[in-house]
Amino acid sequence: MFFYSEYGKMFLECKYMSLFKKKRKVEEINISLEETDNAIEEKVEVKAKTILPSLAEEAIAVVNKKYSSLLKVYNNLLYNFYLCKFFSLAVYKNIDEFSQFASLEHQINNTKELFESVKTRITKLNEDKDYVDSYLNELYDDINHVNENCLGLVSRIDEERRNKFNLLKISSLAVILNKSGEELEKMDKRFTLFVNSFKSIEEASDYIFVNSGELVTNLVNSLVRCVASTNRDDFKNKYNLYYFLKSDVIIWLSLADWVEIYNKVRHATTVLRNVDIANYIDFTGYLEEFEIRYLVLMINEEKKNLIKGGKDEKIN
């Protein structure tokens, strides 16, 4: 079984204690907030079932602002975490390093559960204004708690990244840049499923080089159809099949070919506007699979460079 799969098995099974227990409804709820930026303490009093509309809206706005701040910290945590997780296959050299990272992932998974609970309650809060009567103050405190967890984990992940992942080339990370935490989670699931089909990252790369012609052709054709459905003749003339590929028959693609196609596809997607939805759905499906294979190739290339001791441009 491929090592990435073995790494996944190292997690300890555990039962998560629920942080959010239901509390009985009280007649009065006090919300105390400390804004650290200006050291001003606000106190909002919300009375159950008799909330003044202006006061309720003010309280909800404060909670939503705090959640927006948490979301930025959370996405930053997941980006750095998945960067390390994906490229651990290139960087880590022994079971101890994987084991230590597995322990960190276990803590991140706990925090992800807490975040999802907060996210669900925020959604309900904004859909059902009566929800504020129950435990607005508790929700605010829980957001703070998750935020503190994230900040602590960000510090640990950042140290790991700077100590062990500082030699990765920026170009290798392009495929995960600008993705949200949710997008990276989905990418991780597809990536794990793909690489676990092989004994090593090298074997997976060899397979990709020889067996991706149909995928790449489908990707490009679906993108060309998307462009054709726009009302821009200049785009239609530029982004045709031969802009992306040298031939409509693909036998084998080199790493340089993969990089060139990836860059051209990403550039072309920036001009897509008002395209046919069915064509776009087809395109995104092919693109997701293409990105997984591209990521595998980048990881394998980084592994070869690190083995050779190559030092290229560093990430910050």
Find out whether 229 and 236 touch, Cβ atoms under 8 Å.
Answer: no
Q: Mean pLDDT across the stretch 34-56?
A: 41
> How much is the pLDDT for 6?
42
Q: Considering the chain, what percentage of its residues have pLDDT values greater than 90?
A: 49
* Residue-averaged pLDDT of the chain: 80
The distance in angstroms from the start CA to the end CA of the chain is 34
Find out whether 221 and 243 touch, Cβ atoms under 8 Å.
Answer: no
What is the pLDDT confidence band of residue 199, given thresholds at 50, 70 and 90?
A: very high
> How much is the pLDDT for 39?
36
Distance in angstroms (rounded) separating the CA atoms of residues 249 and 60: 57
Q: Mean pLDDT across the stretch 226-245?
A: 87
> How much is the pLDDT for 132?
58
Cα within 13 Å of Cα(83), Cβ side? 30
What is the pLDDT confidence band of residue 129, given thresholds at 50, 70 and 90?
A: low
Q: Mean pLDDT across the stretch 217-244?
A: 89
Whether residue 120 is predicted with pLDDT greater than 80 in this model: the reply is yes
Distance in angstroms (rounded) separating the CA atoms of residues 200 and 1: 9
> How much is the pLDDT for 250?
81
| Helix H or strand E encompassing 47 | strand 40-47
Find out whether 67 and 122 touch, Cβ atoms under 8 Å.
Answer: yes
> How much is the pLDDT for 34?
40
What is the pLDDT confidence band of residue 225, given thresholds at 50, 70 and 90?
A: very high
Whether residue 265 is predicted with pLDDT greater than 90 in this model: the reply is yes
274 vs 254, more confident: 254
Q: Which of 136-140, 192-196, 200-204 has the lowest mean pLDDT?
A: 136-140
What is the pLDDT confidence band of residue 208, given thresholds at 50, 70 and 90?
A: very high
Find out whether 229 and 276 touch, Cβ atoms under 8 Å.
Answer: yes
What is the pLDDT confidence band of residue 306, given thresholds at 50, 70 and 90?
A: confident
> How much is the pLDDT for 308?
74
199 vs 309, more confident: 199
> How much is the pLDDT for 119?
95
> How much is the pLDDT for 130?
67
280 vs 8, more confident: 280
Cα within 13 Å of Cα(311), Cβ side? 2
Whether residue 146 is predicted with pLDDT greater than 90 in this model: the reply is yes
Pairing, β 40-47 against β 28-35: antiparallel
> How much is the pLDDT for 113?
95
Whether residue 313 is predicted with pLDDT greater than 60 in this model: the reply is no
